[in-house]
């Protein structure tokens, strides 16, 4: 069995080391050194020429949960299954990050930080928790992990998904007709949607205006879901009170961007959930062995949901 590997990142040696230990039965080759057609391809941000050469592989594994950059390339062979990472150590990280963002907002720690700068001792009346509804936009593996963590604190939870789901302890909404009432009940919005043609630019002025006045936005999915200027305008108008953003249209976020220095926006450098190599490799190895045995695997990307 031959496995082709390529990453545009600087962690290729770590990936290959982990793969050689997890898949000792495989011959690992790096593109463009490969001369024989591979059985499987493991890729992160591949060049179009590489994708175009993979029409005969059994499956393409994306070395990350987000497949938006790969599926957008016209060179991707549509008949070859594309398999994304599921969790692989990211759910716990995402739950930690979002829990911090929610608690920081609910307990007004940004306000207290400003008071400290002025040496002002001024306890503030706390909003009752039952009035602080947290809405999770996108309810896959990561959304479920976030909800599980937040439920332990007692926050009233709302969830939105493309299709109908029933989640204990979460008031769920689904489909286009459910988006408006979902947003109307959301005081803090957590965006965990994948980037697709339908979700690109979804968080624009019209959508964000459906949130209650004074709402807060946390984006940990993809920067292209958010219309930057619309968010800034709604913050300036007072409709949105602020945001915590981990993902952006251009990364690294350019130094002149208004987000860097806005007093009501917190910026982090795409660290909410970082791919864990060892966990990811164990998942990929298990799926390759299932495919070799003729068994089905999870995480196969459904193109009908992307186009």
Given pLDDT bands bounded at 50, 70 and 90, which one contains residue 307?
very low
pLDDT of 81 higher than 60? yes
In order of start, what are the domains of the chain with their CATH numbers?
A: 2-88+275-305 (3.40.50.720), 90-267 (3.40.50.720)
First to last CA, the chain: 33
Give the pLDDT confidence of 206-260 residue by residue, as tens digits.
999 999 999 999 999 999 999 999 999 999 999 999 999 999 999 999 999 999 9
Distance of CA 62 to the CA centre of its chain: 14
Which one is predicted more confidently, 119 or 71?
Answer: 119
Q: What is the mean pLDDT of residues 95-118?
A: 97
Q: What is the mean pLDDT of residues 41-47?
A: 94
Q: What is the mean pLDDT of residues 114-135?
A: 97
Give the pLDDT confidence of 82-92 residue by residue, as tens digits.
999 988 789 99
Q: What value does the mean pLDDT of the chain take?
A: 95
List phi, psi (to 5°) of 34: -70, 140
Q: Residues with catalytic annotation? A: 222, 270
**Nearest residue to 46 via CA among 30, 29, 70:** 70
DSSP string, 272-302: SS---HHHHHHHHHHHHHHHHTT---S-B--
Quote the DSSP letter at residue 303.
G
pLDDT of 167 higher than 70? yes
Helices 12-22 and 277-292: angle between axes, nearest 10 degrees: 40
Beta bridge partners of 215: 240
């Amino acid at each position: 069995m031959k496995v082709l590997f390529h990453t545009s990142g600087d962690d290729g040696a770590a990936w290959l080391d982990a793969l050689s230990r997890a898949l000792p039965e495989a011959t690992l080759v790096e593109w463009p050194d490969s001369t024989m057609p591979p059985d499987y391809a493991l890729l992160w941000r591949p060049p179009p020429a590489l994708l175009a050469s993979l029409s005969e592989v059994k499956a393409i594994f994306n070395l990350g949960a987000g497949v938006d950059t790969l599926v957008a390339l016209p060179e991707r062979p549509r008949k070859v299954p594309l398999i994304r990472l599921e969790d692989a150590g990211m759910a716990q990280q995402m739950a930690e990050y979002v829990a911090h963002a929610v608690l920081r907002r609910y307990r007004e720690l940004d306000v207290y930080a400003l008071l400290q700068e002025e040496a002002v001792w001024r306890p503030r009346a706390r909003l009752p928790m039952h009035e602080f509804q947290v809405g999770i936009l996108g309810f896959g593996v990561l959304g479920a992990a976030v909800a599980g963590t937040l439920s332990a604190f007692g926050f009233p939870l709302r969830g939105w998904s493309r299709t109908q789901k029933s989640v204990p302890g979460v008031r769920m909404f689904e489909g286009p007709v459910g988006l408006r009432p979902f947003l109307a009940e959301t005081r803090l919005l957590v965006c965990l949607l994948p980037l697709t043609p339908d979700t690109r630019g979804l968080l624009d002025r019209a959508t964000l205006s459906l949130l209650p006045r004074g709402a807060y936005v946390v984006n940990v999915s993809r920067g292209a879901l958010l219309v930057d200027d619309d968010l800034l305008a709604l913050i300036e108008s007072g409709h949105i009170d602020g945001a915590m953003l981990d993902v952006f249209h251009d990364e690294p976020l350019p130094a002149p961007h208004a987000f860097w220095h806005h007093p009501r926006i917190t910026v982090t450098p795409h660290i909410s959930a970082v791919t864990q190599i060892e966990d990811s490799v164990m998942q990929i190895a298990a799926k390759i062995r299932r495919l070799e045995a003729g068994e089905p695997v999870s995480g196969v990307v459904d193109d009908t949901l992307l186009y």
